[in-house]
Structure formats: structure tokens, C-alpha cells
Amino acid sequence: MSDERQYHTARYDTQRVREEDARRRAAAQGGGRRQLTPAQKEKLRRKGRIRRFFLRTLLWVIFVIVASLALSGVGWLLANDFAAFNKEPVTATVTVTKDDDLDTVADKLKDEGLIEYKWFFKLFGKVAHAEDKIGIGAHELNTTMDYSALINGMRSSSGSLTSETVRVTFKEGLTVRQTIALMAEYGVNTEEELTDAAKNYDFDYAFITGGKGDITRLEGYLFPDTYEFYVGGNPATALGRMLSNFEAKLSDETLEEAIENSPYTLSQVVTIASLIEKETDGHDRANIASVIYNRLSNAGETAYLLQIDASQIYGLGDRYTGQLTRSDLEIDTPYNTHIHQGLPPTPIANPGIASIQAALEPAQTGFYFYALGTDGAHHFFATYNEFLSFVNSSSYGG
């Protein structure tokens, strides 16, 4: 072999050795893996993404199935409560006040056994705007009502929990007309609408015996207390709350027994209480009651005449100028107890509970007369001469 050919052959062999060494070094550095082209790498990445997608989907399906199985029982219970399925029969009266909101109403429904899941009722109530529908009052509800029916069953014709309200205090001794005027002043409704309701609305109370068209049929029964009314609310509902309060106060067992044992009817007892309320200084109710009872029961020196000025003032109505004169006492009205024996035909004001109790439990005295002294208190007498002597003295404050 020539020197030149031998030279080229040696150089070729050397180059092959170098290339083989380079391959071995690359294999050692790459963990023995074959080098991939960019296209191959992208293909592998796509396969990896596809595998991860299917894995996530499978895990999600498994989760949904497991969660559905776990929640299916709870969901069924919620559906039963919402739709009033399979509930024990319960009927209850739920009273809603202005201090209530959706949370406290839910509490009351739960306490009465009408719902099971308060949070679910409140969630539905917020969606259904229940606070704009639920109104103040006593509502009779039962477990046949679903959530929507419960909310509708607590509606009030006078407004809702979100309506504007006013707080009004009525003192003892106001007449029906004065009570209505005060309600109108606070915006409960107009005086005309309230008066019409007082005269003509069909109130379902046994103690209202007067015929429609006469406002005196409610006299004595609008119980003096503090009430919260809707502004511009239903007039009959507003008056009905006061009548309901009267009925509730007289449902006391002691009072009920005393009324049953009284020789007078409930209307007459309330009439006596109204006379006491208009005459009392706040401390002498039992003694004033004794004077009324003594005059009603015995002719004595008064010939069964009560001679109570407040009754005639009521009878005069708009004719009363603020000062009772002798000529006023001669005007013949049904309420003039100076000329008509016995009780006036109706109460003359709305008495409080203390006057009603005094009318049922008068003091046992021999008094037939009383007069106001300069000390601001009533003085009581058994005879007309004693009474006259006091009136003509410097101690008389009338």
C-alpha cells in the first residue's frame, strides 16, 4: 500500500473512533435515551395532556357519583321539608311582631314544629322576598303548608315586616273618637277611614253588641296600651288589635270568675269602669266604685241617680264647650245621669285594667257622695248634709 493510501485509511479509522466515543458519551449523559426531534417531543406532550384530561374527567365523575350518593338522602329530606311531604299533622298559631325578622320567624316556625330546616327556609325566604310579605299579627298555620304557603299564610292586610310603623300609646280614659283622632295624628290611617271602620266593620267579638252605624259600639273596648301600627295600614286591623287586647286582658281567670259572679253584665261592668276612669284621681277607684254601687242599689238620698258629670259631658258631644254649666245639666241626653236613673246606655270611655278591677271589687262603704278638695283628692261622705257642709267649706276645691 502506498504511503498516501495508508495515510487516508488511518485518518478515516481515527474519525470513526472519535465518532463512536462521542456517541458513547452522549448515551452516558442521556441515560441511554434516544434523542427526539421537536416533532416527536410535541407528539409526546399531546399524549400526556390527553392522558391527564381523561384522568381528571374520570376523577370528577367518580366524585360526582360519590357526592350524589352521599347527598341524596339530605336532598330528599330538604325536599320533604320544602314541599311539606310526610309531616306529622301540626296546627299552631305563630305571632309575628315588628321586632321579628326572617331569622326569628324561622325560629318560631321551627319551635312550633312547622318546619325542620331553618336555614333552608331562610334561604328560600330571601329568594322569595318573604320579609315584604310576612305581616304583624297572629297567624294560624299547619304542616300541610309548604314554604310558599307558610309565607302567604303570614301575610297581613295592613303591611309587612319591611313597612314603616309607628308606636302609639293610649292613656286610660280616652273615648273612641279621641282614640281615632290620635291614631290619625300618627298616620295609622285617616280619621274618616278609621271612623267608618269603627262604625261598620264586622268585628267578630261577642262583647260588641251595638248595631252597625254607631261608633259607641266600640266604646269601652279599645284597650289603653302601647301599640305598633303600620303607617297607612288597614283601619279595621288596627282597631281589631285593640279589641283583641281587651279580650286577652279579660281572659284572666280571676277576672273571668269575678265577671261571672257579678250581678251586672260585662257591658255594665265596663260602663261602671269607664265612669270610675273618668272620675278617679288615680288612688280612689275602689271608693268611687262603692259610691256607684251604693247609688245603684239603694235609693238613699239620691233616688238611684248617679249624678256623674263626666257622663253628661260625653252625652253632650260637640255641644260641650269645656265648662259644664247648670243649663248643660238640664239638657236631656241618654247619658244625663242627673235626670236618668241607673247606668248610662254605654261606656263613656276606654278604661284600664285597674278601673275594671275596681268595678268588679268595689270597697264596702256607706258612701253616697264625694267631692274634690283643695288638696287635689276626693273626699267621701255618707250623707248629703256631710257633703254639703264640705262643699261650703274652704277645703272644697271643685
Residues 243 and 260 in one domain: no
Rounded to two decimals, the pTM is: 0.67
- Beta carbons of 356 and 273 less than 8 angstroms apart: yes
**Amino acid in position 387:** F
More confident residue, 350 or 10: 350
Query: Does the residue 66 lie in any domain?
Result: yes
Residues 377 and 287 in one domain: yes
Residues 136 and 236 in one domain: no
CATH number, residue 131: 3.30.1490.480
Query: Does the residue 113 lie in any domain?
Result: yes
Give which of 307, 314, 320, 319 is closest to 349, Cα–Cα.
314
| DSSP labels, 346-370 | S-SS---HHHHHHHHS-------EE
Query: Does the residue 7 lie in any domain?
Result: no
Average pLDDT of the segment spanning 289-293: 97
Average pLDDT of the segment spanning 186-191: 94
- Beta carbons of 240 and 183 less than 8 angstroms apart: no
| DSSP labels, 181-250 | HHHHHTTSS-HHHHHHHHHH-----TT--SPTT-GGGGTTTS--SEEEEETT--HHHHHHHHHHHHHHHT
- Residue 49's CB is within 10 A of a number of other CB atoms, namely 10
Residues 128 and 176 in one domain: no
* pLDDT of 191 higher than 60: yes
CA distances (Å), 110 to each of 89, 114, 148, 236, 320, in order? 14, 6, 15, 31, 56
Three-state DSSP state, 77? helix
CA distances (Å), 141 to each of 108, 124, 241, in order? 11, 18, 19
| DSSP labels, 235-297 | HHHHHHHHHHHHHHHTTSHHHHHHHHHSSS-HHHHHHHHHHHHHH--SS-HHHHHHHHHHHHH
Per-residue pLDDT band at 80 (split at 50, 70, 90): confident
Which residue, 162, 187, 212, sits at the end of a domain?
Answer: 162
Q: Which cell numbers hold the place of 4?
A: 498516501
Query: Does the residue 13 lie in any domain?
Result: no
Residues 90 and 121 in one domain: yes
Residues 145 and 220 in one domain: no
Residues 374 and 296 in one domain: yes
Average pLDDT of the segment spanning 374-382: 94
CA distances (Å), 206 to each of 57, 176, 218, 247, in order? 72, 18, 12, 10
Residues 173 and 146 in one domain: no
- Beta carbons of 364 and 349 less than 8 angstroms apart: no
**H or E stretch covering 387:** helix 384-391
Residues 105 and 133 in one domain: yes
**Amino acid in position 240:** G
Between CA 290 and CA 298 the distance in angstroms is 12
Per-residue pLDDT band at 38 (split at 50, 70, 90): confident
Residue-wise pLDDT tens digits, 92-107: 999 888 788 999 999 9
Residues 89 and 141 in one domain: yes
Which residue, 162, 190, 206, sits at the end of a domain?
Answer: 162
CA torsion 240-241-246-251 (nearest 10°) is 100
Structural domain containing residue 213: 165-249
Residues 264 and 376 in one domain: yes
Burial of 116 (0-12, 13-18, 19+ CB in 10 A): middle
Give which of 221, 312, 341, 330 is closest to 271, Cα–Cα.
221
Query: Does the residue 36 lie in any domain?
Result: no
Per-residue pLDDT band at 17 (split at 50, 70, 90): low
Per-residue pLDDT band at 230 (split at 50, 70, 90): confident
Query: Does the residue 38 lie in any domain?
Result: no
Query: Does the residue 277 lie in any domain?
Result: yes
For the chain, give the mean pLDDT: 87
pLDDT value, residue 65: 60
Q: Which residue has cell 251604693?
A: 294
What's the structural domain count of the chain?
3
232-238-244 Cα angle (round to 5): 170
Three-state DSSP state, 31? coil
Query: Does the residue 32 lie in any domain?
Result: no
β-strand pairing of 378-381 with 91-96: unpaired
- Classify residue 34 by its DSSP letter: P
Q: Which cell numbers hold the place of 9?
A: 485509511
Residues 153 and 180 in one domain: no
